[in-house]
Chain A
Amino acid sequence: MNNEFRQAIDTIPGLVWSALPDGGVDFLNRRWCDYTGISLDEACGRGWLSAIHREDAAPLVEYWSSLLGGREPGEFEARLRRVDGTFRWFLIRAVPVCDESGRVVKWWGQNTDIEDRKRAETLLAGEKRLLEMVASGCELPIVLDALCAFVNEASSGCHCSILLVEVSSGTVRHGASPTLPPDFTRAIDGRPAAAPYFGPCAMAIDQNTPVVVSDIGLDTRWDGFEWSARALAVGLRSCWTAPILSQAGRPLGTFAVYQREVGAPTPRQTELIGQVMHIASIAVERAQAEERLRRSQAHLARAQRVSTTGSFSYSAATDELTLSEEACRICGLDPALPVPPGAMRDRIHPEDLPLFLRMLGGTERQFDFDCRVQLEDGTIRYVHVVADALRDEADGLVEWIGAIRDVTERRHAEEERRRHEAILSKAERLSLTGSSCWRPPSEELIWSKEMFRIFDFDPDMTPTVHMVRERIHPEDLPLFNHTVECAVRDGQDFAVEPRLLMPDGSVKYLQVLTHAFRDEHGNVVEFIGAVKDVTERKQSENALNEMRNELAHAARVATVGALTASIAHEINQPLSGIVTNASTSLLMLADDPPDINGALESAQRTIRDANRASEVITRLRTLFKKTTSASESLDLNEATREVLALSLSELQKAQVMVLTELAHDLPPVRGDRVQLQQVVLNLVLNSAEAMSAIEDRPRQLVVRTERDEDDHVRLSVRDTGPGFDPESACRLFDTFYTTKREGMGIGLSISRSIVERHQGRIWAACNDGPGATFGFSLPRLPLLADPRHVDAPPPPGVPDVEGVQGQAQ
Chain B
Amino acid sequence: MPLPLVCVVDDDESVRESLPHLLRKFGFAAQAFSSAEDFLASAFVGQTRCLVLDIAMPGMGGPALQMELSRRQQAIPIVFITAHEDDTVRVRLISAGAVECLFKPFSGAALRNAVNAALRAG
Interface residues of A (CB under 8 A from B): 565, 568-570, 572-581, 583-584, 586-588, 598, 601-602, 605, 608-609, 612, 649, 652-653, 804-809
Contact = CB atoms under 8 A, between A and B. Distances in A.
Q: Which size class do B's interface residues fall under?
A: 20 to 34
B58 A574 contact: no
30 contacts: A565-B84, A565-B86, A568-B85, A569-B83, A570-B83, A572-B83, A572-B84, A573-B104, A576-B12, A576-B14, A576-B106, A577-B14, A577-B15, A578-B14, A579-B108, A580-B15, A580-B105, A581-B18, A581-B21, A583-B22, A584-B22, A586-B108, A587-B25, A605-B14, A605-B17, A609-B18, A805-B58, A807-B58, A809-B62, A809-B63
A102 B41 CA distance: 186
A576 B55 CA distance: 14
A809 B22 contact: no
Nearest 6 interchain pairs by C-beta = A809-B61, A577-B14, A583-B108, A576-B104, A572-B83, A580-B18
Main secondary structure on A side of the interface with B: helix
Q: Which of A568, A649, A653, A809 has the most CB of B within 10 A?
A: A809
B62 A584 contact: no
Contact of A573 (B14, B60, B64): B14
B25 to A, nearest CB: 4
B33 interface: no
Contacts of A653: 56, 84
Contacts of B56: 569, 649, 652-653, 808-809
Contacts of A808: 56-57, 61
A572 B105 contact: yes
B14 A609 contact: yes
Interface of B: 12, 14-15, 17-19, 21-22, 25-26, 55-64, 81, 83-86, 103-108, 111
Nearest to A612: B14
Nearest to A805: B58
Contacts of B107: 579, 583
A652 B60 CA distance: 11
B58 A577 contact: no
Given A575-B105, A577-B15, A588 B25 contact: yes
Nearest to A582: B108
B61 A577 contact: no
B21 A569 contact: no
Contacts of B25: 584, 587-588
A572 B18 contact: no
A580 B19 contact: yes
Nearest to A587: B25
B83 A568 contact: yes
A598 B20 CA distance: 12
A570 B83 CA distance: 8
A327 B18 CA distance: 113
Contact of B60 (A568, A581, A809): A809
A809 B21 contact: no
A83 B85 CA distance: 163
Give the interface centre of B18, B21, B61, B64 by most chain A CB atoms within 10 Å.
Answer: B18
Given A806-B58, A808-B56, A809-B64, A577 B18 contact: yes
Contacts of B85: 568, 572
Contacts of A583: 22, 107-108
A576 B83 contact: yes
Contacts of A565: 84, 86
Contacts of B111: 580
Nearest to B22: A584
Contacts of A572: 83-85, 103-105
A59 B52 CA distance: 167
Given A577-B14, A587-B26, A652-B58, 17 more contacts: A568-B85, A572-B85, A578-B105, A579-B108, A580-B14, A580-B15, A581-B22, A583-B107, A584-B18, A587-B25, A588-B25, A609-B18, A649-B56, A807-B58, A808-B56, A809-B56, A809-B60
Contacts of A649: 56, 83-84
Contacts of A605: 14, 17-18
Contacts of B81: 576
A612 B17 CA distance: 14
A602 B21 CA distance: 8
Contacts of B103: 572
A155 B108 CA distance: 156
Contacts of A804: 58
Given A583-B22, A584-B22, A576 B58 contact: no
B28 to A, nearest CB: 13
